[in-house]
Structures are given as C-alpha cells and as structure tokens.
Amino acid sequence: MDLSLIGIIIGLAGLMYACMKGLSIIIAAPIFSLVVAGTGGLPLLEAFLETFMGGAVGYIQSFFPMFMLGAVFGKIMEDTGAASAVGNWVIDKIGSDKAILAVVAACGVLTYGGISLFVVVFTMYPLAMGIFKEADLPRRLIPGCIALGAFTFTMTAIPGTPQIQNIIPTEFFGTDAMAAPIIGLVGALIMAVGGVMYLNREARKAKAAGEYFEVGDAEEFEEVSADELPSFALSILPLISVVFLLNVFGMDINVALFWGVIIAIVLLWNKLETLDQLKETVNTGATGSLTAIMNTGLAVGFGSVVQAVPGFDTMVEGLTRFTFGNPYLYGVISTNALAGATGSASGGMSIALEALSDSFLAMGGNPEMLHRSIALASGGLDVLPHNGAVVTLLIVCGLTHKDSYKDIFVVALAIPVLAGLVGVLLATMGIA
C-alpha cells in the first residue's frame, strides 16, 4: 500500500480519536496534517504554512460573514426571548400530551428560520424541561428530541433552509437553496417521521419500566413566563424574513441574514431596551462565531493537505471503483466519511467538495441532485461521539453519552444515513 495513503488513514483516524478524547480540533488538525504531509513526502513547513493554512483561510474568507451574521441573528433572537416565544407557541399548539413531537417541531421551526443549532440547544433546554416535567417523561430523552429537531431534517434536507449545510454546495455547483426539492422532502420525512416514531417508542418503554421526570444532576432550569416574552407574531417575523429573502427574492445568504438582524432589532427593540444591551448581545454573538468558523476552517485545512499528497489520487480511484461510478453514491460515502472524521457536517462537506466536486460533475452528476444528496450526507456520521454539538447538548442537559447518546445515534446518525441512501436512489433514478 502507498505510504501516503497509509498516512491519510492514520491522519483521519488520529484526528477522530483526538477529538473524541477532547483535544480541540484547533490543535489536532495541524498535528495530523503534518502526519499526512510527512508520509506523503511534502516539505513540512511549506505544507503547514501554505497548504494547510491556505485551505483554512480560504474557507474562512468564503464563509465568515455567514457564520458571524448567523450567530448575531441567533443571539438577538435568544436574548430578546423571541426564540423562546416561537418555541412556546409551537409547543402550546401541539400540546404537552405530544411532548416529543412538540419539542422536535419547535426545534425544527427555529433552525429552519436560520437560528444556529447551538443557540437552539440553549433556547430549547428549559422549554423541553418544562414540557417533559408536565408530561412526566424521563429527561434522558430530551437530547434525542433536540438533536432530531435541530441536527437533521431542517439542517440538511428541507429545501430552502438557510443553514450552512444547505448553502455550502451552492458555492460548488451553482445551485440555490431550493435544489432538488423532492429528494429533500423525502429525506426530511424519513428523518422526522422515523425519529419521532423511535422516540415515542422509547418513551412508552420508559413509562412501562416506571421511569419518570427527575431533575437529577441537571442545572436548575427556570420555566419562562409567557408574559415576559415578545408576541409570537413579532418573534416569528425575523425568521420568516430570512427564509423569504433567501428563497423568494434570491438574495445572497449574507444579505438575507443581515436584513434578518435589522428586522429583529427593529421589531424586538423593547426587549433589548438600551444600546448597551444591544452592543453586548451583538458582541457576544459575533465573538461566539469565531470558535465555530475556526474549528470548521481548520478541518478544511486538514483536507487540503490530504488532497495534496499522492495517496489522495489512489483513494479517489478506489472510491470511484467501490461506488461503481455512481457520482451520488460517491458523494454520499466520501462526505459521510469526512464528516465523521472531523466531527463536523460543514467541515466534512467542505473537504469533500473542495477535493472532489469536479470529479462528481465529471462523472455525470446533476448539480442539483449532487447538492441535495451531499447535503443529506453531511448530517450523518458527523454526530459521532466527538461532535461538538453533541458534546454541548449533553453538557447543557446535564447528561452523559451513556445516558442519552444511543437516542442521538439513532435519530441523528442512523436514520439520516438511511435517508441519504434513499436520496442516492432517487437521484440515480433521475427524481429531483
């Protein structure tokens, strides 16, 4: 076997293991990039300063405005109570007797409206605790509900979502956020219906086993009084505006998010009250975006080094044979593998597209079908145990991987992978 191919395998495995053990990808990505570069015969200093940093900086240059504006938008919606108001409204309409569906739907509405999944985790935790307390369901099921609503169908599948996993492919295929709507809607139905059915079954099993709601080791949660929140009508308008501007007017995602921020400030000003409060909210949101963009950008830098060594061509040739020349299956497998290795849907997708998008097209892939099938694939193996969103979700809920990861695995990994394969089948049949 080619030494550089062995280096790629060691580098990918090492990066995944390091992240699972809690080492920041900011440290792990450069280290394992040098492993790949060294086994591939690249000059180490040049590989780090030019290849690795070039890939990372290129990604940050392309997507920093979206990360920053999205984080600011989400923080405004969080601090004003608008996100909670929307979540409460959805839960009230569905009812506490359908606690799981209510939490999933509320998360879905928020993420489809453009709010970062990390913000949704913090917003939905107290709401989910309140409704699970009322329904007397064990709180170990809460992470699975939030993961299903925020990390799956509204992140990758439903056409028009402003989440970055649906925007990145537009840069490579010249598509828009509504690409391949049939594939997207079928994938969304598989994820949403399959996930809710699974979680409801787990809830029935828990009830039969005598489990009930307990606060346990969770941090104290304060149920939000509806009287303190802005109205649903004012709260939903900024979310609708982002989706509307992106998909109806065809605005660039950065412009749509910018106007979403402005609309949120104007409509929710009475909840911000002062310029100092607005400044603090905007500063916190903007600063918070830096970690996310750096983590993803450095994962892409690692991919740039992988692409530069001779073993990459061997790997590409092997994957082409393994996928029988099907560009959609090729895209789904490579994206899933890289998303799993980096613990990042957007990072894995970006590496795959930077390296292989031309190959997918050269094999005869339809750009819209490639867009949707690869977007679906990005939300599969990315939620392996080292994924940052998974770790954050469990910490916020005061639970461990042992308590709740099985549910996250089923609803946010296993079922989405199945949905991605169905997407490959539909794309191969020419159904978009």
Q: For 49-77, write each residue's pLDDT tens digit.
A: 999 999 999 989 988 999 999 999 999 99
What are the tokens at 373?
Answer: 């099938």
Would you state the pLDDT for residue 224? 61
| Residue 219 pLDDT > 60 | no
Percent of the chain with pLDDT over 70: 97
Report how many domains make up the chain. 1
CB neighbours of 19 closer than 8 A, spacing ≥ 6?
A: 25, 28, 342, 343, 386
| Residue 290 pLDDT > 70 | yes
What is the C-alpha separation between 159 and 379, in angstroms, rounded?
A: 15
Would you state the pLDDT for residue 221? 59
| Residue 1 pLDDT > 70 | no
Label residue 217 by pLDDT band (50, 70, 90).
low
Would you state the pLDDT for residue 398? 85
| Residue 220 pLDDT > 60 | no
133 backbone φψ class: left, alpha, beta (φ>0; ψ -120 to 50)? alpha
What are the tokens at 146?
Answer: 């939030």
Higher pLDDT, 328 or 341: 328
140 closest CA partner among 191, 216, 198: 216
| Residue 293 pLDDT > 70 | yes
What is the C-alpha separation between 106 and 191, in angstroms, rounded?
A: 16
- Which domain, by its residues, includes 158? 3-428
Would you state the pLDDT for residue 286? 93
Label residue 225 by pLDDT band (50, 70, 90).
low
Q: Per-residue pLDDT tens for 154-189?
A: 999 999 999 999 999 999 999 999 999 999 999 999
DSSP letters spanning 380-427: SGGGSTT-HHHHHHHHHHT--HHHHHHHHHIIIIIHHHHHHHHHHHHH
Higher pLDDT, 395 or 414: 414
What is the C-alpha separation between 8 and 384, in angstroms, rounded?
A: 20
What is the length of the chain?
A: 432
Label residue 142 by pLDDT band (50, 70, 90).
very high
Would you state the pLDDT for residue 161? 96
What are the tokens at 93?
Answer: 């309409």
| Residue 206 pLDDT > 90 | yes
What is the average pLDDT score of the chain?
Answer: 91
Q: Contact, 10 vs 305, CB < 8 A?
A: no
Higher pLDDT, 330 or 20: 330
Q: Per-residue pLDDT tens for 226-249?
A: 677 899 999 999 999 999 999 999
Label residue 300 by pLDDT band (50, 70, 90).
confident
Q: Contact, 168 vs 350, CB < 8 A?
A: yes
- Average confidence (pLDDT) over 346-356: 89
Q: Which residue is it, tokens 């580098």?
A: 11
175 closest CA partner among 160, 154, 158: 160
Neighbours of 54 (CB within 10 A): 14
Q: Per-residue pLDDT tens for 383-397?
A: 988 788 888 888 888
Higher pLDDT, 58 or 199: 199
